[in-house]
Amino acid sequence: MNLEESSDEELWAEANSEDPWLRADVLMQLGHRKIQQEDWSMAKGLFGSAADLCSELDRDHDLNRAVYSMGYCQYRLGEAAEAVVTLKQALKMSQDSGNARSIAHSAGPLADSYLEQGQDDEAIAAYEIAVDAFYEIEDYYPAGINCLAMGELHGKNARQTRALECFIRAFNIFQTGGDAFGAARAKDRMAAALIDLDDLPQALQHITDAMHTFEHMDSFERVAYSKYRMGKVLVLMGKYVQAIEPLRQSAKFYREANDWSSAALAEAQLAEAMLLMDLEAENEEAERLLRRTLAYFESAGELSYALVVQTIQGDRLFAKGRLDAAIAMFKDVVTRGVEHEDWDLVRGARTSLAEILFKAGHHFEAREVLDLVDAAEWGENNLELKRLEEVKTLMLDTMSMMLNIEVKL
């Protein structure tokens, strides 16, 4: 009986066969069909029954497949804790047998399940196993995807050098598999790590390379995202005029696609570029964009993005010499950021707040705020570390100079 060509009705009829070997095969085939239909609950039950039969029949290879398939279904059902237990068992069986394919299919969803549990280190270790195994069996797409996921986790934990290594590895894997789209995605992530490492020219080059690939493949949403990121990097590089056009194009695409949040992000970045072009000039369009995007993010309940817009507004107030207003703005950002547990944003806002407080003559309060910023929490985010060091140096130098003046008097 050819199970792959049999109908569902024929398979269900054979599921009650007196032949346990046939029943096990039928249950496995039905399970795979339910996975294709994304009926994860039914698939989990079928694979569980198949695993019981395979265990009784000493069919170790098929038992391994049934167990990792059941674990994958548990993961898709949101049962991450149960999936970890099942997939750890499957991975051990796979490693004991030395079957690279089974190792790959066990380790990948195990890593995802660890990630859902917030166990980042365990997830990274499992992703590493999955990448190696998928590469060994020349299944390059999942090898690259797992490598990207591993890099994202390193980046999340401020290990940008390790993240960059993972993204470069993913790029090479995708290229080996002839996957231009995957390679472009890896280039984009390489740029993200390089931005934090403060290598902006190289980051811009990778974003540009990725954008050209997406353009060739008519992946217009990815092109719009690349233009948004290009604009952000150009702003960081102080090339405000050059940032304007890609940001306008990005915002225009997202508006036409009714992706209002992405459009608002692009417009907020556009407003910042316009304001930085001339700190003294009044730019009503830019001010209007900031007011509009802030109102949108507040209404949409996207607090982190709202606070990003407030940060831009606070920087603007500081540049115009409105120190008291800027202080109030950044204090609000810090308070709301703490409530939202957006710690990267809070650290950046505290650095800005400390600088403004110092400029306003509130030296003691400025030092108190700056003491709350732990440089170690930035990890390898050289861009933010450089800014933090500049503020600390400014304060120390100024206070030292003031002390010397007092001594002379």
**pLDDT tens digits along 291-320:** 999 999 999 999 999 999 999 999 999 988
Instruction: Identify the band that residue 7 occupies on the pLDDT scale cut at 50, 70 and 90.
Output: confident
Query: Angle CA(105)–CA(107)–CA(112) in degrees, nearest 5?
Result: 105
Instruction: Name the pLDDT band for 381 (thresholds 50, 70, 90).
Output: confident
What whole-number distance in Å separates Cα of residue 245 and Cα of residue 304? 25
Given a cut of 50, is residue 407 above it in pLDDT?
Answer: no
Q: In which band, very low, low, confident or very high, does the pLDDT at 401 lie, cut at 50, 70 and 90?
A: low
> CA angle at residue 189 from 250 to 272, to 5 degrees?
40
The residue-averaged pLDDT of 221-229 equals 97
- Binning pLDDT at 50, 70 and 90, where does residue 13 land? confident
User: Can you list the alpha helix ranges (DSSP code H) found in 320-362?
Assistant: 323-340, 343-359
Residue-wise pLDDT for 21-76, tens only, equals 999 989 999 999 999 999 999 999 999 999 999 999 999 999 999 999 999 999 99
Position 196, amino acid = D
The per-residue pLDDT of the chain, averaged, comes to 93
Between 267 and 387, the higher pLDDT residue: 267
The C-alpha angle with vertex 201 and arms to 283 and 237, in degrees rounded to 5, equals 25
Identical fold at 1-137 and 302-409?
Answer: yes
- At 110, is the pLDDT very low, low, confident or very high (cuts 50, 70, 90)? very high
Q: Which amino acid is at 106?
A: S
- pLDDT of 378 reads 84
Read off the pLDDT of each residue in 197-213 and give the average, rounded to a whole number.
Answer: 97
Measure the CA–CA gap between 181 and 216, rounded to whole angstroms.
Answer: 10
Q: Which of 255, 329, 327 lies closest to 293 in space, CA to CA? A: 255
CATH superfamily, with its number, for domain 1-137 = Tetratricopeptide repeat domain (1.25.40.10)
For residue 400, name the pLDDT band (cuts at 50, 70, 90). Answer: low
Percent of the chain with pLDDT over 90: 80
Angle, alpha carbons 230-185-132 (nearest 5°): 145
What CATH number labels 302-409?
Answer: 1.25.40.10
What's the confidence (pLDDT) of residue 172? Answer: 98
**Rounded to an integer, what distance in angstroms lies between the CA atom of residue 303 and that of residue 299?**
9
Confidence of residue 14 (pLDDT cuts 50, 70, 90): confident
354: left (phi over 0), alpha (psi -120 to 50) or beta: alpha
Specify the pLDDT at position 409.
47
The percentage of residues in the chain with a pLDDT greater than 70, rounded to a whole number, is: 97
Closest CA to 53 of 83, 96, 88, 24: 24
CA distance 326 to 317: 5
- Give CA–CA dist 275/384, Å, rounded: 21
Which tokens go with 156?
A: 């999340």
Rg of the chain (C-alpha set): 27
Q: What is the mean pLDDT of residues 203-215?
A: 97
How far is 381 from 374, CA to CA, in rounded Å?
A: 12
367 CB-contact burial (10 Å; exposed 0-12 / middle 13-18 / buried 19+): middle
pLDDT at position 368 over 80: yes
- What distance in Å separates the CA atoms of residue 294 and residue 305, rounded to the nearest whole number? 8
Q: Report the length, in residues, of the chain.
A: 409
Q: Distance between CA 28 and CA 62 in Å, rounded? A: 9
Domain limits of the chain?
1-137, 302-409
Note the pLDDT of residue 10: 83
pLDDT at position 133, please? Answer: 97
d(CA 387, CA 189): 23
pLDDT computed for residue 285 by the predictor: 93
Burial label, 58 (beta-carbon count in 10 A; 0-12, 13-18, 19+): exposed
CB atoms within 10 A of CB 299: 9
Q: Is it the case that residue 396 has pLDDT exceeding 80?
A: no
Q: How far apart are CA 162 and CA 196, in angstroms?
A: 12
